[in-house]
Amino acid sequence: MAPLRRSRSCLLVAITAPLAALWHLWAPEGSPLALAFFGSDKEDPVDRTKRILREADAVFFDVDSTVVTTEGIDLIGKCFGIMKEISELTHKAMNGNVKFQDAMAERLQLMADHGMTKEKLEKCVKTEGVPKWSPGVREFVQMLHKQGTDVYLVSGGFQNMIKPIALELHIPQKMIYANEILFDEEGNYAGFDRSAPTSASGGKPKVLKLMKRKKGYKNMIMIGDGATDLDARLHGPAKAFIGYGGVSVREKVKNNADWFITSFQEVLDVLPKGTDL
């Protein structure tokens, strides 16, 4: 009987081991999904995220409706009299109801049809590009810098709207991953840079994978308000995802975030203060 039991045990291991490996790929360790499946003996997701935040070597921020309270592309739409139409398309993209690159192409073409040129866009950035900060975010970034954590801006928005934000946050331009609107020699709209990782669905996980490979980061955190930000955790190497609902609460993000916050004061309370850094 002993050999038979051993053979059955070996067969069980042979069957369950690959299934367990596949599950860990689908439900990353420490995620709410993994916690629900494997049981409550795992570390609480919020406590785990707070611990990782204190140990983080890199934090990646979404920009629109996270670092700032506005959506950059909506503000550009405002300049060309179609803010409402652009905003509706933005919400569809953020909720994951349409492919990101399709929504971007549609919004940019709509603005081009309503008079967007290189010159008019530059004028628009000057009038509408003044950052409207989410409360506490500048202090949060400052504290991350003090504790030696690298800070990145990863956005489906546009470089020309995000560079002024990065400048005020003392984030180098090489740590910005965002999209670029293209114009021809006469200044007419000519599409967008489709080679940028953030120009397509799955772009944010690609950015984090790239930086993990380049920098060897061990503890990366993604912070944002949308489904594209959540992807960096579910389909990327982010060890934790902090969902931000201080501007807009998206149910998919709220339900799947490791830690969901509505104020950056919540994360400020976790980091070491002043002389403790």
Catalytic residues: 62, 64
Q: Do 238 and 204 contact (CB within 8 A), yes or no?
A: no
Phi, psi of 219 (to 5 degrees): -125, 90
Model confidence at 52: pLDDT above 90: yes
Quickly tell me which residue has 């990366």 as its tokens. 220
High-pLDDT (> 70) share of the chain, %: 82
Quote the tokens at residue 104: 């971007």
Q: How far, CA to CA in Å, does 23 sit from each of 13, 28, 239?
A: 15, 8, 16
| Distance between CA atoms of residues 62 and 139, nearest Å | 16
Rounded to the nearest 10°, the torsion over CA 134, 135, 141, 146 is: 170
Q: Domains in the chain, please, with CATH?
A: 50-70+132-276 (3.40.50.1000)
Distances (CA, A) of 10 to 4, 20, 275: 10, 15, 56
pLDDT per position as a tens digit, 176-219: 999 999 999 999 999 999 999 999 889 999 999 999 999 999 99
45: tokens are 């997701």
> Whole-model pTM?
0.81
